[in-house]
Structure 1
Amino acid sequence: MEPHENTGHPRRWAILGVLVISLLVVVLDNTILNVALRTLADPVHGLGASQGELEWSINSYTLVFAGLLFTFGVLGDRSGRKRFLVIGLVLFGLASLLSAYAQNPGQLIAARALMGVGGAAIMPVTLSIISNVFDPRERGRAIGVWAGAVGLGVAIGPVLGGALLEHYWWGSVFLINVPVVALGVVLVATLVPESRDPNPGRVDLLGVVLSVVGLVALTYGIIDGGEHGFDRPLVWASIVGGLAVLAFFVTHELRSDHPSLDVRLFRVPRFAAPVTLIGLVFFAAMGVMFFNAFYLQLVRGYSPLETGLLFLPFAGAQLIFAPRSAAMVRRFGGRAVAVTGLLLTTVALGAFVLVQADTPIWMVTVLTFIQGAGMANIMPPATESIMSALPREKAGVGSAVSNTVRQVAGALGVAILGSVLSAVYRDDIAPAVAALPAAARDAASESISGAYAAAGRLGPAGPALIGSANDAFVTAMHWAAGISAVVAALGILVALRWLPGPTAATPTTPAPAAAEPELAGTA
């Protein structure tokens, strides 16, 4: 074959468009629910869900989604990626329909868990199919479009949710998925070719079970600890137990002659380094997005729709810079592009330390734009490095690992930074609530939302409590932002030390197994 010949599929760009549609519906649903929580808690216009039930309506999706990402990526490689994509879309659409017409919080939680199964089947195979249908020389550009779709979905989810809630009932935030999924199924069946590992071997059933159990247990401990505190035995039993199961999984994979994941891959810097980088970035970014939503809606008083609109600069930056990042990588190398993106992200996250309750809102939107621009230039080179470390037929492994790390790191970021936020807030507001009645003091000490609710029952003393709560929350936000910036800065050190430079920025073929001893078992 001549070096100039393009080995990609003739309809690869149309296929990419179909994959973006499939991916958007999953990413949108990850964020669209946040703006509906207040309505779902309303016993008249919603389901009358308690605070704990609202938390589980989010976490049931996250736990299942994160726990099955790795497994479904591997099974998609073996059983057929197109097949898994169609199955995932059908499950996601069915679960969306069930969520829209749930009669009580328990039904909604169960439907959201089923939605997580569908989402876990969809997301990893989209990236696997990209690696299969695109020539390696075009793969970076295609991954840039894919990454831009992820950023766009994260940003426009709250906008779409807020707009729907202003005109329709709460179930519309789930029902909107159904026609999009139906379109996606038709397009996938028509355009996307089937692909799989040509030499699948035996399925590592024990490895699959261990990976699911370990990831679910670890993720549960992280999320539950963030919600209710890390001072309970159940949380540490879940975290330690999950880590122990994952350690056994690694040991089993090293000894197995048909592993679901050859863990020797993590000895290859161009695979391990970008996976670590993605984890650090999403730990920092998801934690900041978590407290920024509270800051905009409570401290600044914006509605859910207005809050969503204020995140549009993040989406705009993703749309502008993500598709261009592949060309930047070709010109300057993956390391330089990723480090620049990390510097921008670190500056944006760290600048939240300076944001106050009366900071001009345009300054906050500038920070979200800078963060979006930075992350748009991190994900494509990192993802390209991961995917280029593996042969095409093993693309699902890289996709599943990177997405699982992203989900778990994001959950860890929200849990740990949320715990920091709560602890600093409680300490800072304690003097202001000491003289309040017990019920109001407990509510105001628990969260800024509780303080606003308590202030509504205090009459003339209410405005003073709101002012104190805002000041305490802003102080807590500064601590969380500082930690986020430090974590993002660690990513700079990882990128400088281990990401490939300009000479390795544009691989034309995946590295052969003989060139990397650690890849011998995957080729």
Structure 2
Amino acid sequence: METTLKASLPPPSHTASSRGQAWVLAAVCLAALILPLSFTGGVVATPTISRDLGGSSLALNWITNAFMLSFGSLLMPAGALADAFGRKRLFASGVLAFSIASVIIAWAPNIAWLDVLRAVQGIAAATALAGGSAALAQEFDGIARTRAFSLLGTSFGAGLAFGPVLAGLLIEHEGWRSMFLSSAFVGTFALLLGVPRMRESRDPDAMRFDWLGAVSFTGTLGLFTWGVLQLPTSGWSSFQAWGLIGGSLLAFAVFLRVERRTHRPMLDLSLFRYPRFVGVQMLPVATSYCYVVLLVLLPLRLIGIEGRNEVSAGLTMIALSIPMLVMPSIAAVLTRWASAGKISAAGLLIAALGLFWLSCIDPSNRQASLLGPLLVIGVGTGLPWGLMDGLAVSVVPKERAGMATGIFSTARVAGEGMAIAIVSALLTLFIQFHLPENISTWRVATARHLAMGDMVAVESHVLDTVNTNALVTVYGEAFQWLIYFLILITVFSAIVVGWLLGDQDRQHTDGCQTDNCFGSDNDP
């Protein structure tokens, strides 16, 4: 009897290990939850910060872009550091630095300090996410690893879904500084929850860190984003702006040369020979243009142009992001009958239909609801969103998990940062095209402030020339043209993803565990 009972019980070490894995997963997902909260919360808080601290339209742009730029450009170097120096060490130091930076931001005395601290916060966020993602890849195998990363993606979705409304509530009742203090509290809790139970791991084959590659890659993204943001400010014929963009191309050329010559590169360029790898990287780029950019544009439109308060804007934004809590699970179920590539392509086409619906709603029509089109966009985007994390972690051998997650996370966050900079510049350009001819002296400044939703600054410049209703109409026409651009990018991405990720990617949704997840060099 005793022998039978002992045989029926799981080994104590296995039980303890499973419990430890669950705590580690909870801690990494909690840390991943506050990263989009910090991103969307900063967007919602921008109009309030502008009234409190002042600042130019370019400085206000950097509240979002400083975080996204440092976050996106350092994810891949952070992934390489995680492989070389330890995943647990990177995760712990990143979450701790993020919490400390959040507390300091809450006491920022002016907009310049706030922008600098947001960049520091982004650096810490990159370190935390890269270390945590690589640690998860070591804790789990097979189907469990795919499910763990799907849950990680769902945590991002939850942060995006509830970020605007939580930020709105905190801003309305406690002020914008309380939003950053709450992020510090959650980050500290994640640190205490997961680090004591997380085991240290590193890549035994990792050599010295690729510093030149990291610097050239970061310079590429930084110079490009800075140049694109500078274009509306200094003019489209600005030598400074185009010089920055040219410098980014030069830095990118240096980066490619360094990675080809390095024995252990931060980015294995040979992976781009495989269509499925390229298809996986296309997914976060596509979702940047059909979904993420709206997280920045819509709060500015709702609060600054339509005159809603922060809570109302946050509640409206829930329609866009709430599908992220449901659609990833539905997408996983659908893979029983269709490939991840086809499901992702179909989702992008659905999102494009939602974008077209959104383009038909004029911001001057206060009776029209945005809930319908936002819900359709969220549902469509949720399909690839729920699959791409699981696909991404399967593209390299397990010991290079830090590089794999770093590449994918970089494509996601750097793509989002660049997309935000590009659409912000385009919106400003479209507004300039649609402004009345009698606005000449303050034309560029009017377009910049209107794109940021700063109607108060616009009215102080041109109220005697054009009334507020006319300015809202100008914004609506420019916004419509911008949505057409987003539709074009989304449909093109759907075609490319459907082509590159066909039926052959079914093995990836099941969790590829071989050293060559792509097949042989002779495979198509």
TM-score, with structure 2 as normaliser: 0.88
- C-alpha contact (below 8 Å) 1:222/1:415 kept by paired residues: yes
1:494 correspondence with 2:496: yes
In structure 2, distance between residues paired with 1:374 and 1:152: 16
- C-alpha contact (below 8 Å) 2:449/2:457 kept by paired residues: no
- C-alpha contact (below 8 Å) 2:76/2:266 kept by paired residues: no
Deviates more, 1:169-178 or 1:124-133: 124-133
Q: Which residue identity does 1:40 align to in structure 2? A: I
> Which one of 427, 445, 451 corresponds to residue 421 of structure 1?
427
Query: Aligned with 1:75: secondary structure?
Result: helix
> Which one of 29, 39, 45 corresponds to residue 48 of structure 2?
39
In structure 1, the residue matched to 2:33 is 24
Q: Which runs of 5+ in 2 are unaligned?
A: 1-13
In structure 2, distance between residues paired with 1:128 and 1:351: 39
Shift, 1:486, TM fit: 0.8
Aligned alpha-carbon RMSD (Å):
2.9
In structure 1, distance between residues paired with 2:461 and 2:517: 71
> Which one of 384, 387, 396 corresponds to residue 390 of structure 1?
396
In structure 2, distance between residues paired with 1:206 and 1:453: 43
1:94 correspondence with 2:97: no
Q: 1:169 to 1:352 in 2, by over 3 A?
A: closer
> Which one of 482, 485, 506 corresponds to residue 484 of structure 2?
482
In structure 1, the residue matched to 2:10 is none
Shift, 1:292, TM fit: 2.2
In structure 2, distance between residues paired with 1:454 and 1:245: 37
Q: 1:443 to 1:295 in 2, by over 3 A?
A: same
Shift, 1:116, TM fit: 1.6
Query: Aligned with 1:171: secondary structure?
Result: helix
Query: Aligned with 2:436: secondary structure?
Result: helix
The 5 Å alignment of 1:96-495 reads: 96-225=102-231, 228-357=234-363, 363-431=369-437, 433-434=438-439, 444=446, 446-448=448-450, 449=453, 452-455=456-459, 465-495=467-497
1:512 correspondence with 2:515: yes
In structure 1, distance between residues paired with 2:17 and 2:345: 32
Q: 1:62 to 1:335 in 2, by over 3 A?
A: closer
- C-alpha contact (below 8 Å) 2:65/2:417 kept by paired residues: no
Query: Aligned with 1:377: secondary structure?
Result: helix
Query: Aligned with 2:195: secondary structure?
Result: helix
In structure 2, distance between residues paired with 1:504 and 1:358: 49
Shift, 1:451, TM fit: 5.2
Shift, 1:395, TM fit: 1.5
Q: 1:165 to 1:360 in 2, by over 3 A?
A: closer
Shift, 1:307, TM fit: 0.3
Shift, 1:159, TM fit: 1.5
Shift, 1:16, TM fit: 2.0
In structure 1, distance between residues paired with 2:194 and 2:425: 42
Query: Aligned with 2:109: secondary structure?
Result: coil
- C-alpha contact (below 8 Å) 1:348/1:368 kept by paired residues: yes
1:10 correspondence with 2:1: no
Q: 1:299 to 1:506 in 2, by over 3 A?
A: closer
Shift, 1:73, TM fit: 0.9
In structure 2, distance between residues paired with 1:270 and 1:132: 23
In structure 1, distance between residues paired with 2:236 and 2:409: 26
Q: 1:56 to 1:419 in 2, by over 3 A?
A: closer
Shift, 1:181, TM fit: 1.5
In structure 1, distance between residues paired with 2:47 and 2:116: 20
In structure 2, the residue matched to 1:3 is none
Shift, 1:368, TM fit: 1.4
Shift, 1:156, TM fit: 2.2
Shift, 1:319, TM fit: 0.7
In structure 1, distance between residues paired with 2:477 and 2:409: 32
- C-alpha contact (below 8 Å) 1:329/1:505 kept by paired residues: no
Deviates more, 1:113-122 or 1:409-418: 409-418
In structure 1, distance between residues paired with 2:118 and 2:311: 23
In structure 2, distance between residues paired with 1:477 and 1:78: 46
Q: Which residue identity does 1:196 align to in structure 2? A: R
Q: Which residue identity does 1:16 align to in structure 2? A: L
Residues 232-276 of structure 1: CA distance to partner in whole angstroms, max 9, x if unpaired? 222222222222222222222222222222210111122111102
Equivalent pairs, count: 505
Q: Which runs of 5+ in 1 are unaligned?
A: 1-5
Q: 1:455 to 1:217 in 2, by over 3 A?
A: closer
- C-alpha contact (below 8 Å) 2:80/2:209 kept by paired residues: no
Q: Which residue identity does 2:427 align to in structure 1? A: L
Q: Which residue identity does 1:38 align to in structure 2? A: P
- C-alpha contact (below 8 Å) 1:91/1:118 kept by paired residues: yes
Q: Which residue identity does 1:29 align to in structure 2? A: S
Q: Which residue identity does 1:247 align to in structure 2? A: A
Q: 1:226 to 1:129 in 2, by over 3 A?
A: farther
TM-score, with structure 1 as normaliser: 0.88
In structure 2, the residue matched to 1:76 is 82
In structure 1, distance between residues paired with 2:86 and 2:262: 23
- C-alpha contact (below 8 Å) 1:288/1:484 kept by paired residues: no
Shift, 1:518, TM fit: 6.7
- C-alpha contact (below 8 Å) 1:16/1:130 kept by paired residues: yes
Q: Which residue identity does 2:50 align to in structure 1? A: A
Q: Which residue identity does 2:513 align to in structure 1? A: P
Shift, 1:23, TM fit: 0.9
In structure 2, distance between residues paired with 1:470 and 1:303: 17
- C-alpha contact (below 8 Å) 2:290/2:351 kept by paired residues: no
Deviates more, 1:13-22 or 1:81-90: 13-22
Q: Which residue identity does 1:19 align to in structure 2? A: V
Residues 58-106 of structure 1: CA distance to partner in whole angstroms, max 9, x if unpaired? 3332332222111001111221111101100111111111111122333
Residues 448-503 of structure 1: CA distance to partner in whole angstroms, max 9, x if unpaired? 346554547988x79x7111111111111111101101101111111221114165
